[in-house]
Amino acid sequence: MTFFPTEPRTARHRLALGWLVAAAILLLAFAAGKATAEPLEAGMPNPPAKPTVVDCAILILDVINIDDVNESFEAEVALLASWNDPRLAFDAEAEGTPVKIFQGGFQFAEVFRGWWPQLVIINEVGLNDPNAVKVEVYPNGRVRYLEQRNATLETPMDLHDFPFDTQRLKAVMIPFGNRKEDVVLKVDQEFADATNEFVRKEKSVNVAGWDLRKLEMTEGESAISVLNGSNRFSSMVTTITLKRRSWQLVWEMLFPLVVLVSVVWSIFWVDIDSLPDRLNISFIGVLTIVAYQFVVLEDMPRMSYLTFTDLVLLISFVMMSATIPQSILIHSLVRKGKQREARQIDRTCRWLFPVIYLLLLGGVAVYFLLLT
């Protein structure tokens, strides 16, 4: 005879065994963490000194694209920084290595336990994750940080002289979260000299239509407004100066415009009695230059000032439009029987219109390209 059922007892044994296994796993994990964890030195999350001087550089490795409409450019950049942190000093013989290297996102985020400046390019657009990151720690406590990324940067552009303009594209970097009293950015002269040598050797960068003229890095301060007021941060600015290769645009954009205006002047050789033919030529020219202006403006940002190209278009439009009242005047003289005066006006306009047009274009060119 069986007084106690066996199946419920077996189920209770299995449940208890499961809890024992889970507890054993947690104890082993806790013991392993205690054994491998290194004690964090007091103050390690903070900068090693006040202020901590960080020698840094922003190297423009390549300019991928320049967007005139949105006043931005895409570039491949390298961030380099180095500073002293005595808390990370070690004995090279005892460690068995002359330098500790933390390479890749996992080692940098999970293994490296020292302080580092969070270098942020404040005129960067969007979220651009680093392609590569590396930290080197030397026995004397010197730390070197390297990062490579592709970044899209907003920068104001001066297009007054377009298409003969020179642009100075900037990348502005600050130590995010550390005011100038805590962290000071200094230009690493080693890399500043390297950029000057790069400019001397390289006549162009890998971007169509531009020539590299200058690379420079400067120190400064940036004021950023936060909830409790405005804070000042130490900053470093890398400026890349590029000169636009303008002659291609001259042949593709400005030269056809001058030819179009010259074609409209053919009305001065049309018979003085043919008013409809003269007006047809003038109106076709005016409508063509209006459409031409829309095509040019598509590749230009919305600006509050007139560029060299805008004034050339405006002058061309006015000179074309002036042929319409000239034809009406000729027709009025013909109806009054003054054919001789009408023909004399046509003969005068054959040289007067080109001369005025060239003088206006020359004045605009002198003002924009020489005086400014």
What does residue 208 show for φ and ψ, rounded to 5 degrees?
-70, 135
Out of 245, 267, 293, a domain closes at: 245
Q: How confident is the model at residue 99 (pLDDT cuts 50, 70, 90)?
A: very high
* 239 and 350 fall within a common domain: no
| CA 163/CA 250 separation, integer angstroms | 8
Q: What is the CATH number of the domain that holds 219?
A: 2.70.170.10
Question: Do both 229 and 366 map to the same domain?
Answer: no
The pLDDT, as a whole number, for residue 295 is 80
- 222 and 294 inside one domain: no
Under 8 Å between Cβ of 305 and 161: no
* 30 part of a folded domain: no
* 135: pLDDT strictly greater than 50: yes
Specify if 230 maps to a domain: yes
- Domain boundary among the residues 215, 245, 275 is at 245
Q: In whole angstroms, what is the distance from residue 215 CA to residue 225 CA?
A: 29
Report pLDDT digits (tens) over 296-347.
777 777 778 888 888 999 999 999 999 999 999 999 999 998 999 999 999 9
Q: Are 153 and 124 in contact (CB under 8 A)?
A: yes
- Paired tokens of 58: 């922003």
10 in a domain, yes or no? no
- Of 245, 260, 286, the residue that ends a domain is 245
| Residue 185 located in a structural domain | yes
Among 214, 185, 217, residue whose Cα is nearest residue 59: 217
Contacts of residue 40, defined as CB under 8 A and 6 or more positions apart, other chains included, come to 113
Matching residue, tokens 């931005």? 72
In a domain, 39, yes or no: no
C-alpha triplet 28, 33, 36: angle, nearest 5°: 120
> What is residue 358's predicted lDDT score, i.e. its pLDDT?
94
The answer to whether 54 and 184 have CB atoms below 8 angstroms apart is yes
Pairing of strands 52-67, 183-187: parallel
The residue-averaged pLDDT of 348-359 equals 94
Whether 40 is covered by a domain: the verdict is no
Distance, CA of 65 to CA of 362 (rounded, Å): 32
Examine the domain organization and report whether 176 and 302 are in the same domain: no
Cα diameter, the chain: 143
High-pLDDT (> 70) share of the chain, %: 83
For residue 191, is it within any domain? yes
Give phi and psi for 240, each to the nearest 5. -110, 120
pLDDT digit string (tens) for 283-299?
A: 998 998 888 888 877 77
Structure tokens at 107: 């080692």
183 and 300 both lie in a single domain: no
Same domain, 63 and 194: yes
What one-character-per-residue DSSP string does 263-306 give?
Answer: HHGGGGGS-TT-HHHHHHHHHHHHHHHHHHHHHHHTTS---SS-
Nearest alpha carbon to residue 81 among 115, 44, 127? 115
Alpha carbons 229 and 179: distance in angstroms, whole number: 13
Q: Which two tokens stand for residue 126?
A: 């969007």
Give the distance from CA 320 to its chain's centroid: 39
Query: Alpha-carbon distance 263 to 316, whole Å?
Result: 12
**Residue in 128, 118, 124, 165 with CA at minimum distance from that of residue 148:** 128
Q: Does 61 score more than 70 pLDDT?
A: yes
Q: Are residues 314 and 253 part of one domain? A: yes
Q: How far apart are CA 362 and CA 372, in angstroms?
A: 14
pLDDT of residue 7: 45
283 and 231 in a common domain: no
CATH code assigned at 363: 1.20.58.390
CA angle 146, 171, 59 (to 5 degrees): 40
Residues 25 and 29: their CA atoms lie apart, in Å, by 6
Q: Is residue 217 part of a domain?
A: yes
142-154 vs 124-125, strand pairing mode: antiparallel
Q: H-type helices in the chain, by residue range?
A: 7-36, 92-95, 105-106, 189-201, 247-249, 255-264, 275-297, 308-321, 323-335, 339-366
Whether 277 and 348 map to the same domain: the answer is yes
117, 222: one domain: yes
Domain that holds residue 165: 52-245
Closest listed residue to residue 299, CA positions, set 161, 152, 163: 163
Predicted local confidence at residue 280, as pLDDT: 93
Structurally, the chain folds into a number of domains equal to 2
Q: Tell me the per-residue pLDDT of 171-225, one tens digit each, with 9 for 90 and over.
A: 899 998 888 888 999 998 877 766 666 655 555 455 777 888 888 888 888 877 6
- Asked if 253 and 240 sit in the same domain, the reply is no
Q: Take residue 61 and report the two structure tokens written for it.
A: 């490795």
DSSP per residue, 85-139 = -GGG---HHHHT-SSEEEESHHIIIII--S----EEETTEES----SEEEEEE-T
Same domain membership, residue 290 and residue 163: no
